[in-house]
Amino acid sequence: MAEILTQNEIDALLQALSSGAIDAESAKTEDQSRKIRPYDFRRPSKFAKDQIRTIVMIHENFSRILSSSLSAYLRAMVQSEVASVDQLTYEEFIKSLQNPTVINVLALKPLEGSMVFEFAPNLAFGFIDRLLGGKGAYDGIIRELTEIEQMVTKRVVMRMANCIKEAWSNVVDVEPEYQGMETNPMFTQVIPPTEMVILVTLDVKIAAISGLMNVCYPYILLEPLLDRLSSQYWFASAKKSFTAEAVTTLKKRLTEAVLPVEVELGKATVSVREMLSLDVGDVIKLNQSIKEPLTVKVGHEEKYLGFPGLSNDKLAVQLYGIKQKGGERDVK
């Protein structure tokens, strides 16, 4: 709080100014000298606030792309959101990691230097279990990955790298190149320990497993892009029309989307007494005639008509026609 002067002090100050005992300019200089801000030369702030905000927006977009891409690839719901964006030294980042962990080093051509993808082993084992036919479970045992598990994890990381490429496309066109994997943080010396980095932390969840994923960018990697890391530049680039390559990528992503398909055999109403008396072999009469086509739902929307049957000794439905709804005829 600013100091409040008494009337006597105000009168004395005015008298001193009138007599020339003190100078108004020197009083201003003295007041400005009090506004001292501490600066740590061991951790220089190399990114402006506007640049940090742009990096946050880029990775919020990356988070959305990642959720969609991994959900289609793993055939399971994957949720991802940006937890924090910090600027710190590479040594601080390395010391904050557990051992073992999963560290992936990638180059972003034509930029100089390498970036780091790091995520906890529980996420890695969740990805592996899902890709090998499981439900994405994790037994809780922390250990290093085998060679086969590393190859499976590499495929997921390359999927993430493509998402990074798309997220940065409004700022720069990059081509990710996989350089290697390490489980011990102390063996991953990509840059000098005192070099500043931007650390983006994402909260990722797959099935019942959740964990943090770190995306680390050295300053030397982003230095050529500092002029472009402004909100104005990012929004201006985002308004550009889609290229043919972007349209092709979008169509490919749509074809990989997973949609639930349901067939409704019919409905019936029974009392609680009747339900409690049901036994094996009893028949419940539905309101659907076997001569009438069934309704096939895609998601929650009624899209097709069909008849039940068997295909390779499995229950199936043969599509009979399209169930049109208002306005869908105009969609192309």
Which pLDDT tens digit goes with each residue over 224-251? 888 888 766 656 655 555 667 778 877 8
The answer as to whether 149 is a domain residue is yes
Query: Whole-number mean pLDDT of the chain?
Result: 81
- Domain boundary among the residues 236, 255, 274 is at 255
Same domain? For 208 and 320 the reply is no
CA atoms within 13 A on the CB side of 309: 10
Same domain? For 111 and 194 the reply is yes
Residue 295 has pLDDT above 60, yes or no: yes
Q: 316 by DSSP, 3-state: which?
A: strand
- DSSP 8-state class, residue 299: T
Residue 116 class from Cβ within 10 Å (0-12 exposed, 13-18 middle, 19+ buried)?
buried
- Domain boundary among the residues 255, 278, 295 is at 255
Residue 2 has pLDDT above 50, yes or no: no
The answer as to whether 248 is a domain residue is yes
Residue 19 class from Cβ within 10 Å (0-12 exposed, 13-18 middle, 19+ buried)?
exposed
Residue 326 has pLDDT above 50, yes or no: no
The answer as to whether 79 is a domain residue is yes
Going by C-alpha positions, the residue among 229, 204, 231, 228 that lies closest to residue 215 is 204
The answer as to whether 16 is a domain residue is no
CA–CA gap between residue 137 and residue 163 (Å, rounded): 24
Q: Residue 60: what pLDDT?
A: 92
CA atoms within 13 A on the CB side of 307: 6
Cβ(123)–Cβ(204) below 8 Å:
yes
> Token pair of 160, please?
């993430």
Same domain? For 202 and 287 the reply is no
The answer as to whether 23 is a domain residue is no
CA–CA gap between residue 320 and residue 222 (Å, rounded): 56
Same domain? For 195 and 87 the reply is yes
Same domain? For 136 and 238 the reply is yes
Residue 255 has pLDDT above 90, yes or no: no
Q: Residue 169: what pLDDT?
A: 86
- Domain boundary among the residues 255, 281, 306 is at 255
Residue 324 has pLDDT above 60, yes or no: yes
For 152, the domain range is: 49-255
Q: Residue 59: what pLDDT?
A: 92
The answer as to whether 212 is a domain residue is yes
Lowest mean pLDDT among 7-16, 69-78, 188-197, 199-208: 7-16
Same domain? For 227 and 316 the reply is no
The answer as to whether 121 is a domain residue is yes
Same domain? For 236 and 117 the reply is yes
pLDDT digits (tens, 9 = 90+) for 119-161: 888 888 888 888 888 877 777 777 888 889 899 999 999 999 9
The enclosing domain of 273 has a CATH number of 2.30.330.10
Q: Residue 1: what pLDDT?
A: 41
Domains: count for the chain: 2
Residue 3 class from Cβ within 10 Å (0-12 exposed, 13-18 middle, 19+ buried)?
exposed
Same domain? For 192 and 272 the reply is no
The enclosing domain of 164 has a CATH number of 3.40.1550.10
The answer as to whether 332 is a domain residue is no
